[in-house]
Amino acid sequence: MVEELERRYVSDEMKESYINYAMSVIIGRALPDVRDGLKPVHRRILWGMYQAGHTHEKSYSKSARSVGEVMGKYHPHGDQALYQTMVRMAQDFSLRYPLIDGQGNFGSIDGDPPAAMRYTESRLDRLSSHMLDDINKNTIDMIANFDDSETEPTVLPSRLPNLLLNGSDGIAVGMATKIPPHNLNEVAAAVRFHTEKVIEEDRKRSLDKAPKIDALEYMEYLKGPDFPTGATLYGIDGILDMYRTGQGRFHIRSDAEVRDDSSGKRIIITSIPYQVRKAGMLRGIADLVTKETIKGIRDIRDESSKEGIRVVIEVKNNADPHAILNQLYQSSRLQESYSANMMGILNGKPVQLDLSTILHTYMRHRESVIERRTQFELDKAEARAHILEGLMRAQKRMAEIIEVGRNSDSRDQFEGYLRGDEKYPKIKRFDFSQKQAKAIAERRLYQLTKLNVKEVEDELNKLKEAIKEFTAILDSRKLRLEILLEELENVVEKHGDERRTHIDPTPLSM
């Protein structure tokens, strides 16, 4: 039989295929999910290390082992690309709140490469445990991996508002994302403000629609980006535009101090802009001096250490250090422009994000996690309570149960008598459920005869209280949101820190 061929223009086929490819890159690689702030590769690394037991309370393991496990089970791509992603997740100058705890050479702010994965060791950072909390309690959807041999999460429960905390960078086909990192204390305060507004307005009719809150109101709590390398951010208008529209531009300038004392004239730099490599920046300054673009610099010394960045620029006696510093800001990478473009995946589609949408999406995600976790705990408590109720009832007819058990031909027949499928002669028919009958049949004789009724009764009473509490949470959105805020506050108490980036509201005149 000859198949009928479909006639198509090559241009139409190319267009459709390219769009499919572009969307695959956008969703599967380049843009983060708004809910947990992670791209698939980051999520797979965290999940793979968690599944393999490389958690913060365990000892370090070779990075090559983690890379191999993630690559073999979840992410069938090049090992070097995977390792470089893991390395960045461990660098405290790349992520505001690192998710991987690395031991060994994981690169430096100078741009030095990390040691090979066979030499370094890693495990999940303590902070990462909050990204994975309750993942085994049916809180998120799981999907099959690339060869259907394992399952992986579509999103992490993410007790942390990670998209704002660590930001994201990515280039897709026809679009890109560049979200700056923020401070945990401030983001938590903004989440609290947003959630309290939702509770106040009680938005039952449209849960997915964010309340109308202007970015200026959020900025009472969330001052602006907070970069791991510190420095000073200029231009509050650019921050406001970013929060309102998802796009904004501002400048980041190194923190520097001019000293003129008996030791001579010096410029001391103590921080540099985010994503600037210090060694490259200093080479650029040296080139400016060599080409005499900037005159008056006598020497450049890098005195940086584990305690922090310290670059000393010696200035000639006849030169003005303030003027030289201004020239350096204009001509070198001591000052950088940051163009934010907050793009992310929302409901399976790339979306330009404003601050309100990010906060509301995180809140709705956490509310869903809490609801599903509570339902899981409720089902578990009800199942256990059902068994205990059967044991309590069995205690009242223990002599009859023992007699039936002794005279049953098999365990299946014994359970059948307990379920009431068949009546045992001269004994009132039992009516235990299938699960209760199985639990009774599985207990040993001494456990049936010496059953601690008080202990079982106490456990049952505790379970009934828990069931009542779980039911109340499922019936009340306000309770769920209050739990969200309480859990976030616990994270802040453990991991919150001071802001590193100073914000100057005055924009720089270029």
Q: Which of 97, 119, 221, 234 is catalytic?
A: 119
Give the pair of three-digit tokens for residue 440.
């009774």
Contacts of 187 (CB under 8 A, 6+ apart): 161, 164, 165, 222
Query: Residue 508 in contact with residue 235, Cβ under 8 Å?
Result: yes
- The two counts, helices (H) then strands (E), for the chain are 18, 17
Q: What pairs with residue 252 in β-bridges?
A: 233, 336
Three-class secondary structure assignment of 235-260: CHHHHHHHHHHCEEEEEEECCEEEEE
The span from the CA of 417 to the CA of 405, in Å, is: 9
Q: Would you give the end-to-end CA distance of the chain in angstroms?
A: 73
Running DSSP on this structure, what letter comes out for residue 410? Answer: S
Quote the radius of gyration of the chain (alpha carbons, Å).
Answer: 31
* Alpha helices, DSSP H, located in 321-433: 321-331, 355-396, 398-406, 411-419
Query: Residue 312 in contact with residue 303, Cβ under 8 Å?
Result: yes
How are beta strands 121-124 and 142-144 bridged, if at all?
A: unpaired
| Rounded (10°) angle between helices 434-442 and 411-419 | 130
Query: Residue 251 in contact with residue 305, Cβ under 8 Å?
Result: no
3-state secondary structure (DSSP) of residue 82: helix
Q: Which of 169, 159, 167 is nearest to 225 (CA)?
A: 167
Give the pair of three-digit tokens for residue 471.
């039911």
Give the pair of three-digit tokens for residue 218.
């959020």
How are beta strands 502-504 and 61-62 bridged, if at all?
A: unpaired
The span from the CA of 391 to the CA of 460, in Å, is: 10
361 CB burial (10 A radius; 0-12, 13-18, 19+): buried
Q: Which of 251, 249, 218 is nearest to 232 (CA)?
A: 251
Q: What pairs with residue 313 in β-bridges?
A: 267, 300
**How many CB atoms are closer than 10 A to CB 9?**
8
Q: Is 362 in the active site?
A: no
Cα-to-chain-centroid distance, residue 91: 16
Catalytic residues: 119
